Structure 1
Amino acid sequence: MKKLLQGVLGYGIGSIFILMIVSAGVLAILLRFTGMEYQTLNQFALVAGISILAFGGMLAAYKGEQKGWLSGGMTGLIFVSAMVLFQIIFENSWVTLPQLSYFGGLVLAAWLGGMIGVNLPRKTAKR
């Protein structure tokens, strides 16, 4: 259980937050210095978010070494809960139906990433 929580909270959520900050910076630079339209940027953000959540779930399950579906699901739910909480606190608005479907897709991506991550081959030390 300790490895599972360490994988989810340490590696999964940590990597997601770092990668989300980096991708937000890259998207902001693209928006500022290119002629990219807002709709195209929105699609890039969607793909980046889903990919990052899948990677975070995969890393959490790989490091947790057990129950990949649980590691990925917990990673996705914790991240989405934080996003909803920030929206309620800072924007003073509730979650809309389109956002709910987006959040569901993020949790699903992390869940699937967790199932993949637990099955990745591990490095073994040669003796």
Structure 2
Amino acid sequence: MKKMVQGVLGYGVGSILVLMIVFAALLALLLRFTSMDYETLNQMALIAGISILAFGGMIAAYKGEQKGWLAGAGTGLIFVSSMVLFQLIFENKWVSLPQLSYFGGLILAAWLGGMIGVNLPKRSAKR
């Protein structure tokens, strides 16, 4: 159980936060220095968000080494609940219906990533 919590909180959510910051900076640079329209960048952000959550769920389950579906779902739920909390605190708005479907997709992506991550082959240390 300790490994799974460490995998979810440490590796899963941590890798999601780092990758989201990197990709947000990349999107900001693209928006500033190219003539891409807003719709294209919006689609790129959607695909990147789903991919990053799937990767975070995969890392969490790989490090947790058991119950990948639970590690992935926990990673997704923690990340999405923090996004909802930030929106409530800083924008003083509740979640809209389109956001709920987006958040559901993010949780589903992390859940599926966790199922994949728990089945990845483990590296064995050679001595």
Task: Report the TM range for the smaller structure's normalisation.
Answer: over 0.9
Deviations along 1:27-83, one digit per CA (max 9) or x if unpaired, are 000000000000000000000000000000000000000000000000000000000
Aligned match of 2:75: 75
Residues 38-117 of structure 1: pairs in structure 2 closer than 5 A: 38-117=38-117
Aligned residue identity for 2:39: Q
Q: Where do 5+ consecutive residues of structure 1 fail to align?
A: none
TM-score (norm 1): 0.99
Unaligned runs of 5+ in 2: none
Aligned to 1:124: 124
Question: In 1, distance between residues paired with 2:112 and 2:13?
Answer: 15
User: How far off is 1:125 after superposition?
Assistant: 2.4
How far apart, CA to CA, are the structure 2 residues paired with 1:6 and 1:125?
21
Residues 4-37 of structure 1, C-alpha deviations (whole Å, 9 max, x = no match): 0000000000000000000000000000000000
Between the aligned residues of both structures, percent identity stands at 80
> How many residue pairs are counted as aligned between the two chains?
127
